[in-house]
Structure 1
Amino acid sequence: MIVAALFAMSVAAGDDTAFELAGARIGLGYTELRQQHPHMQCTVSCVDPTAKMLGHPGNLWAGIGHGAVNQLAFRFVPALTDREATFVSSAYQALYGKPARRNAPDGCEEWDRAGGAIVLCVRNGLSLTYWKDENWGVTKSVIPDAAE
């Protein structure tokens, strides 16, 4: 079961920069993102409400800058049960090893990577994961014109 989950995440083990959520990754071109996620809706940023990660449904969110994904998050909908949260956390640990940090009081786990950190928050009522770097929360998302 864990092996299938690892393939579903499409992450290269041992690659310090690799991180994908539901098939999207930092640096993925806007056009390619839209091709991979035909249900994605893009206005200021992009959201695919039909995305799945590790077999669980949710909302894939992507910020766009210079024609490519520069921010990435996934919110599990509905929120994960305790058992599902344990499964997801175990899948992340199988891929990335022991978390560098477990933040209190939210219980988020973080794995350091070149250029940022992978964050998983599946405890205490939270149910999301995201890539955190200098762009997170401060970079304006700009959707390319349809002509580009």
Structure 2
Amino acid sequence: MVGESDVDIGSATPGDMAELVGVLGDAEMFADQLRRQAEGLGQLLVAWVGGLAVGVVYLRWEPADEPEIRRHLHAVPLLRHLEVHPEWRKRGVGSRLLREAEARLAGRGFRRVALGVAPDNFPAISLYRKQGYEKWPQPDVKTAIDEFSVMVKDLRR
């Protein structure tokens, strides 16, 4: 059985695009994240098991699109699109991705990190709470597409 210790995490490269899209879909999103990474605006991390991409998370250190996040969490990086392939969930992949993302952000001098989660995504909210994230005291953020709760973690703990 493959466990958390068998997961390797690294930065995505343009050569990973076919694998990412084949396993997780959404070519447009991955193309955008790889472009932003190349421009120095963030970093796309991939969790690999034996050459298979099983999860991703995007670390965004450019300002947030949402005005309320820019206002209340100025200069706080965001974790975007944490996704683990359904066959690899509940095996520690999401936790490993979070810890690696946090370590990389702390290494860049960031003191906090934030993320958005659908208010009814209880498994994800539970994972984030276990990893030390707390819901921010502001109302949920509403966009033209969706609504999400913001959770924040102090990286100095």
Same-fold status (TM-score > 0.5): no
TM-score by length of 2: 0.28
Q: Which has the higher contact order (CA 8 A, sep 6+)?
A: 1
TM-score by length of 1: 0.29
